[in-house]
Amino acid sequence: MNNTLHKLYIGSFFVIGIISASLLIINGHNYYSSPVSERFWIEQHNSLKPSGSIGHGLGIVGTLMMIIGVSSYMIRKRVRGLFNIGFLKHWLEFHIFMCTLGPVFVLFHTAFKFGGIVSISFWSMVAVVLSGFAGRFIYLQIPRSIKGNELSLKEIDELNVSLQEEISKSGIVSPRILDRVASFRRSVEGTGASLGEAFKSYLASGREAGSILQQLRAELANTGTSEKKHLLKLVGSKLSLTRKIGFLKVMHRLFHYWHIFHLPFAISMFVIMLIHVAVTIIFGYKWIF
């Protein structure tokens, strides 16, 4: 997938997400914002209640989206025969899209009533989604190839050296900035720092990187736009990689804990949802079938 195609791919996720959420809000805000005791008298009750034609459908579509989003990523990540089908990072983007919009549909399915045992499934879903965003942040802090696979330490070092060389070769960046870029190193590895201290140091390194880029932007004020953009991107990548190297062990540790946290909520959501679906079928709710 080239750059333009990738932008279209991500753009289509945003467009579908924004249009779907807007339609749900425009169509149902009157119903969803009414007190539960008064909803029975509202015309849309029959379609928007959790067992209504639209409400029930949203539960089914949202749940299917989550099932497809989770299983497709897990299968693509694990089955050797599928390793060549698309980049792993694009499958993760699909996972994030399906598992963000799916829960939005389920939220409208509940009609904002969170009663009964199925509320455990609902709140587990909320926990998985919120933790997903934290996981995405940690995931991005671990250096990866263009395909989204984790780089080995040797590959990271090689990339770091080649970026530094490319910046030096440009001949435009002043020695002052070259020096700042080369000596930009903030790491908590081997210091026995707590997670809190690591986080503070991480923020500080972000501020320092920002200040280097600001200085570079000022120095390149009279340089051509495309060259300026290219150099800012290059220096930005180098600083970002150096930061990632400095916090690699911390991020690996965090990602390990994150997986331990993320999975049980996903399992509890699916298990209780299955019981919920079985109960609704036993009670005769069959949607449009």
Q: What is the dihedral of CA 7, 9, 11, 17, to 10 degrees?
A: -160
Counting contacts by CB under 6 A, is residue 254 touching ligand HEM?
no
Cβ 71 to ligand HEM shortest distance, Å: 9
**CA geometry: angle 43, 47, 51, nearest 5 deg:** 130
Counting contacts by CB under 6 A, is residue 65 touching ligand HEM?
no
Mapped onto helix, strand or coil, the DSSP state of residue 239 is: helix
Binding mask of the shown chain, residues 84 to 103, with x at each position contacting ligand HEM by CB under 6 A? --------x--xx--xx--x
Q: Which of residues 203-242 bind ligand HEM (CB under 6 A)?
A: none
The residues that bridge with 144 in the sheet, in sequence order, are: 150
The amino acid that residue 237 corresponds to is S
Counting contacts by CB under 6 A, is residue 144 touching ligand HEM?
no
- Of 93, 108, 110, 220, the residue at the interface with ligand HEM (CB under 6 A) is 110
Q: Which is nearer to ligand HEM, 11 or 264 (CB)?
A: 264
Cα(96)–Cα(137) distance, integer angstroms: 12
Counting contacts by CB under 6 A, is residue 280 touching ligand HEM?
yes
- Sequence-distant (6+) residues with CB within 8 A of 143 are 150, 151, 155, 156, 159, 241, 244, 245, 248
Q: Which is nearer to ligand HEM, 80 or 207 (CB)?
A: 80
- Of 9, 114, 184, 202, the residue at the interface with ligand HEM (CB under 6 A) is 114
Q: How many CB atoms lie within 10 A of CB 167?
A: 21
What tokens were used for 287?
Answer: 């949607």
Mapped onto helix, strand or coil, the DSSP state of residue 144 is: strand
The DSSP call for residue 150 is B
- Of 127, 172, 248, 277, the residue at the interface with ligand HEM (CB under 6 A) is 277
> What is the sign of the dihedral through the CA atoms of 186, 187, 191 and 193?
positive
What tokens were used for 158?
Answer: 């090689």
Q: Which is nearer to ligand HEM, 28 or 59 (CB)?
A: 59
Counting contacts by CB under 6 A, is residue 50 touching ligand HEM?
yes
What number of residues does the chain have? 289
Counting contacts by CB under 6 A, is residue 109 touching ligand HEM?
yes
The DSSP call for residue 170 is T
Counting contacts by CB under 6 A, is residue 128 touching ligand HEM?
yes
Please, are residues 160 and 245 in contact by the beta-carbon 8 Å criterion? yes
- Of 74, 79, 85, 278, the residue at the interface with ligand HEM (CB under 6 A) is 74
Q: Which residues bind ligand HEM (CB under 6 A)?
A: 50-51, 56, 59-60, 63, 66, 70, 73-74, 77, 92, 95-96, 99-100, 103, 106, 109-110, 113-116, 118-119, 121-122, 125, 128-129, 132-133, 135-136, 139, 262-263, 266, 269, 273, 276-277, 280, 285
